[in-house]
């Protein structure tokens, strides 16, 4: 086995995961050229092509698919063995890869991630946000952050705080011109800023009170897929927005935004840091779990 074979194998697995050389290079922190050279060297050593390449797409050959299926678990075992050695370090170090929804990342970024890095400056955190649910093991992540009700049952979950909720808000000047809604159907007479989900569909605003449930397909002249833009539009008096409460808490407290329909937005499941049951973990991994438990003051849900 050549001296660089682990690097080359990791490159192949990353390309297979991400579906492109560019995305894999970004994930591994190397140039596309270096990644291509590593894969080319491995293909020459093996005497087979692992990928079919065109100017528009990359796909595994049959040989490449067999290679990934067999080598992937073996490489994970090697990484677990390396983590076992790192677990004996007195000072946490190395890299932790975390996957999260963007909304969840915003909520836990300062209290968990930044505080963790202040305590353990030798650790590097690679936080990836995306709108889809992923298999964190198959995608090469150490941990994930999701709502408790979205965490797979075979994972260990550590709640990161109390139940959360949504908030419907508008600028004070907007409500000086428009009567605030008292019940969800009143929204149909307002200018609302619509949100597009990662799958392309439009989000229906969810409400519930005393067993009465409403899903409102609001109307408005603006549709956005980024919460920071939505906040800018609402602050600019363009209409009413539907947010995670944490995203507008400071604006409401400062009087920049006014909350309405609060009694129609009950709490939802808390955020959780979750991970697979594993025997060997690094010192950095253990330190992050310890901080998460310190934040929550709760006992983690164990894997079934």
pLDDT attached to residue 303: 45
Q: Are residues 125 and 186 in the same domain?
A: no
Rounded (5°) CA angle 212-213-215: 155
Q: Is residue 107 part of a domain?
A: yes
Q: Are residues 254 and 282 in the same domain?
A: no
Residues in the chain: 304
The per-residue pLDDT for range 131-157, each reduced to its tens digit, is 888 888 888 899 999 988 888 888 999
Whether 281 and 193 have beta carbons less than 8 Å apart is answered as no
Whether 51 and 246 have beta carbons less than 8 Å apart is answered as no
Taking Cα atoms as reference points, which of 186, 220, 180 lies closest to residue 203?
A: 220
3-state secondary structure of 85: helix
Residue 118 belongs to domain spanning: 94-162+269-296
Q: Are residues 260 and 279 in the same domain?
A: no
Q: Are residues 77 and 145 in the same domain?
A: no
The string of DSSP codes covering 277-289 is --S---HHHHHHH
The per-residue pLDDT for range 159-196, each reduced to its tens digit, is 887 788 999 999 999 999 999 999 999 999 999 999 99
Q: Domain total for the chain? A: 3
pLDDT attached to residue 297: 66
Domain at 202, CATH number:
3.40.190.290
Rounded (5°) CA angle 219-224-228: 125
Taking Cα atoms as reference points, which of 195, 99, 107 lies closest to residue 151?
A: 99
Q: Are residues 173 and 242 in the same domain?
A: yes
Task: Name the residue with tokens 């006992």.
Answer: 299
Q: Which helix (H) or strand (E) holds 169?
A: strand 166-170
Q: Are residues 186 and 130 in the same domain?
A: no
Q: Are residues 180 and 153 in the same domain?
A: no
Positive/negative CA dihedral, 145, 126, 201, 57: negative
pLDDT attached to residue 273: 93
Cα distances (angstroms) measured from residue 266 to each of 125, 191, 212? 33, 23, 12
Residue 103 token pair? 């909304």
Q: Is residue 182 part of a domain?
A: yes
Q: Is residue 153 part of a domain?
A: yes
Domain at 20, CATH number:
1.10.10.10
Low-confidence ranges of the chain (pLDDT < 50): 1-4, 299, 303-304
Classify burial at 14, counting beta carbons within 10 Å of its beta carbon; exposed 0-12, middle 13-18, buried 19 or more.
Answer: buried
Q: Which helix (H) or strand (E) holds 127?
A: strand 123-129
pLDDT attached to residue 72: 80
């Amino acid at each position: 086995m050549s001296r660089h074979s682990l690097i080359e194998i990791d490159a192949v697995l990353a390309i297979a995961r991400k579906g492109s050389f560019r995305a894999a290079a970004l994930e591994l922190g190397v140039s596309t050229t270096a990644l291509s050279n590593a894969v080319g060297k491995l293909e020459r050593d093996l005497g087979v092509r692992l990928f079919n390449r065109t100017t528009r797409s990359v796909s595994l050959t049959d040989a490449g698919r067999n290679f990934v299926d067999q080598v992937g678990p073996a490489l994970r075992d090697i990484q677990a063995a390396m983590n076992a050695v790192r677990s004996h370090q007195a000072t946490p170090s190395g890299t932790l890869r975390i996957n999260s929804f963007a909304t969840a990342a915003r909520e836990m970024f300062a209290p968990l991630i930044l505080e963790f890095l202040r305590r353990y400056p030798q650790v590097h955190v690679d936080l990836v946000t995306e709108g889809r649910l992923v298999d964190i093991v198959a995608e090469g992540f150490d941990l994930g952050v999701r709502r408790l009700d979205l965490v797979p049952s075979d994972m260990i979950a550590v709640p990161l705080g109390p139940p959360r909720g949504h908030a419907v808000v508008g600028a004070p000047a907007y409500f000086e011109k428009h009567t605030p809604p008292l019940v969800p159907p009143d929204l149909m007479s307002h200018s609302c800023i619509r949100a597009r989900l990662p799958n392309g569909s439009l989000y229906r605003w969810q409400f519930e009170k005393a067993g009465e449930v409403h899903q409102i397909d609001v109307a408005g002249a603006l549709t956005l897929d980024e919460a920071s833009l939505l906040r800018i539009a609402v602050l600019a008096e363009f209409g009413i927005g539907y947010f995670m409460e944490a995203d507008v808490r400071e604006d409401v407290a400062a009087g920049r935004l006014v909350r309405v329909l609060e009694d129609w937005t009950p709490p939802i499941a808390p955020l959780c840091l979750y991970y697979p049951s594993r025997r060997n973990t690094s010192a950095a991994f253990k330190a992050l779990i310890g901080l998460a438990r310190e934040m929550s003051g709760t006992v983690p849900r164990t894997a079934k």
